[in-house]
Chains A and B, each alone.
Chain A
Amino acid sequence: MPFARLRPFLPYLLLLPGLAWLAIFFAAPMFTLAQSSLEEGAFETGFRFTWNWSNYSDAIQEFDTQFLRSFRYAGVATLLALVMGYPLAYVIAFRGGPLKNYLLFMVVLPFFTTYLIRTLAWQTIMSDEGQVVSALQTTGVMEVLDALRISQDGRLLATPTAVVTAITYNYLPFMVLPIYVSLERIDRRLVEAAQDLYGGPLRAFRTVVFPLSLPGVFAGSLLTFIPAVGDFVNARLLGNPNTSMIGNVIQSRFLVVLDYPLAAAISFILMALILVAVLIYARLLGTEDLAG
Chain B
Amino acid sequence: MAVQPIAARARSRWRPRAVLGFAGRHLVTVYGALVLLYLFLPIAVMVLFSFNEPKSRFNFVWQGFTLDAWTDPFAVPGLGDAMLLSLEIAAISTVIATTLGTLVAFALVRYRFRGSGPINLLILLPLTTPEIVIGASLLTLFLQMGVETGFMTIVIAHVMFNISYVVVIVRARLRGFDWTLEEAAMDLGANELQTFLKVTLPLMFPGVLAGALLAFALSLDDFIITLFNSGQEVTFPLFVWGAARVAVPPQINVMGTMIMVATVGLLALSILVQRARS
- In the complex, the answer to whether B223 meets A26 with C-beta atoms within 8 Å is no
Interface 1/0 per residue, A92-133 and B, CB below 8 Å: 100100000001001101111111111011111101011100
- In the complex, the answer to whether B59 meets A124 with C-beta atoms within 8 Å is yes
Q: Which of the candidate stretches A27-35, A137-145, A183-191 sits at the interface with the other chain? A: A27-35
Contact of B193 among A3, A30, A109, A250 (CB under 8 A): A3
- In the complex, the answer to whether A18 meets B103 with C-beta atoms within 8 Å is yes
Q: Which of the candidate stretches A55-63, A83-91, A207-215, A282-290 sits at the interface with the other chain? A: A83-91
Q: Most B CB atoms within 10 A — which of A120, A122, A270?
A: A120
- In the complex, the answer to whether B110 meets A201 with C-beta atoms within 8 Å is no
- In the complex, the answer to whether B132 meets A264 with C-beta atoms within 8 Å is no
Tell me if A267 counts as interface (CB < 8 A to partner B). yes
- If A14-B106, A247-B132 touch, whether A26 touches B29 (CB-CB below 8 Å) is no
Question: What is the bound-complex CA distance between A121 and B260, given in angstroms?
Answer: 14
Q: Which B residues from 188 to 244 make CB contacts under 8 A with A?
A: 192-193, 217, 220-221, 223-224, 227-228, 236-237, 240-241, 244
The distance from the CB of A46 to the nearest CB of chain B, in whole angstroms, is 11
**Range of interface residues on A (Cβ < 8 Å):** 35 or more
Chain B residues lying within 8 Å of A202, measured Cβ to Cβ, are 20, 24
- In the complex, the answer to whether A95 meets B25 with C-beta atoms within 8 Å is yes
- In the complex, the answer to whether A271 meets B133 with C-beta atoms within 8 Å is yes
- If A32-B144, A112-B217, A121-B42 touch, whether A222 touches B128 (CB-CB below 8 Å) is yes
Chain B residues lying within 8 Å of A222, measured Cβ to Cβ, are 128
Tell me if A279 counts as interface (CB < 8 A to partner B). no
- In the complex, the answer to whether B49 meets A260 with C-beta atoms within 8 Å is no
Contact of B136 among A10, A18, A27, A263 (CB under 8 A): A263
Q: Which B residues from 115 to 138 make CB contacts under 8 A with A?
A: 119, 122-123, 125-126, 128-134, 136-138
- In the complex, the answer to whether B140 meets A32 with C-beta atoms within 8 Å is yes
Question: What is the bound-complex CA distance between A211 and B42, given in angstroms?
Answer: 33
- In the complex, the answer to whether A87 meets B136 with C-beta atoms within 8 Å is no
Question: What is the bound-complex CA distance between A85 and B159, given in angstroms?
Answer: 31
Chain A residues lying within 8 Å of B126, measured Cβ to Cβ, are 22, 26
- In the complex, the answer to whether A114 meets B237 with C-beta atoms within 8 Å is yes
- In the complex, the answer to whether B43 meets A110 with C-beta atoms within 8 Å is yes
Question: What is the bound-complex CA distance between A114 and B83, given in angstroms?
Answer: 12
- In the complex, the answer to whether B132 meets A127 with C-beta atoms within 8 Å is no
Q: Most B CB atoms within 10 A — which of A36, A112, A222, A247?
A: A112
Chain A residues lying within 8 Å of B253, measured Cβ to Cβ, are 117
Chain B residues lying within 8 Å of A79, measured Cβ to Cβ, are none
Chain A residues lying within 8 Å of B160, measured Cβ to Cβ, are 21-22, 25-26
Question: What is the bound-complex CA distance between A260 and B40, given in angstroms?
Answer: 39
Q: Which A residues from 224 to 275 make CB contacts under 8 A with B?
A: 226-227, 229-233, 237, 247, 250-251, 254-255, 260, 263-264, 267, 270-271, 274
B residues near A (Cβ < 8 Å) are 17, 20-21, 24-25, 28-29, 31-32, 35-36, 38-43, 45-46, 49, 58-62, 100-101, 103-104, 106-108, 110-111, 113, 119, 122-123, 125-126, 128-134, 136-141, 143-144, 156-157, 159-160, 163-164, 167, 192-193, 217, 220-221, 223-224, 227-228, 236-237, 240-241, 244, 248, 252-253, 255-257, 259-260, 263-264, 267
A residues near B (Cβ < 8 Å) are 3, 10-12, 14-15, 17-19, 21-23, 25-30, 32-33, 35-36, 84-85, 87-88, 90-92, 95, 103, 106-107, 109-118, 120-125, 127, 129-131, 169, 172-173, 199-202, 222, 226-227, 229-233, 237, 247, 250-251, 254-255, 260, 263-264, 267, 270-271, 274
9 contacts between A and B (CB under 8 A): A21-B160, A26-B160, A27-B122, A114-B237, A120-B46, A200-B21, A202-B20, A250-B132, A255-B228
- Given contacts A33-B140, A233-B223, A264-B137, list 14 more A-B pairs with CB under 8 A: A17-B100, A18-B104, A22-B123, A106-B36, A109-B264, A110-B43, A112-B217, A114-B221, A117-B256, A131-B61, A201-B24, A251-B132, A270-B130, A271-B133
User: 3 smallest A-B Cβ distances: which pairs?
Assistant: A230-B130, A91-B32, A121-B42
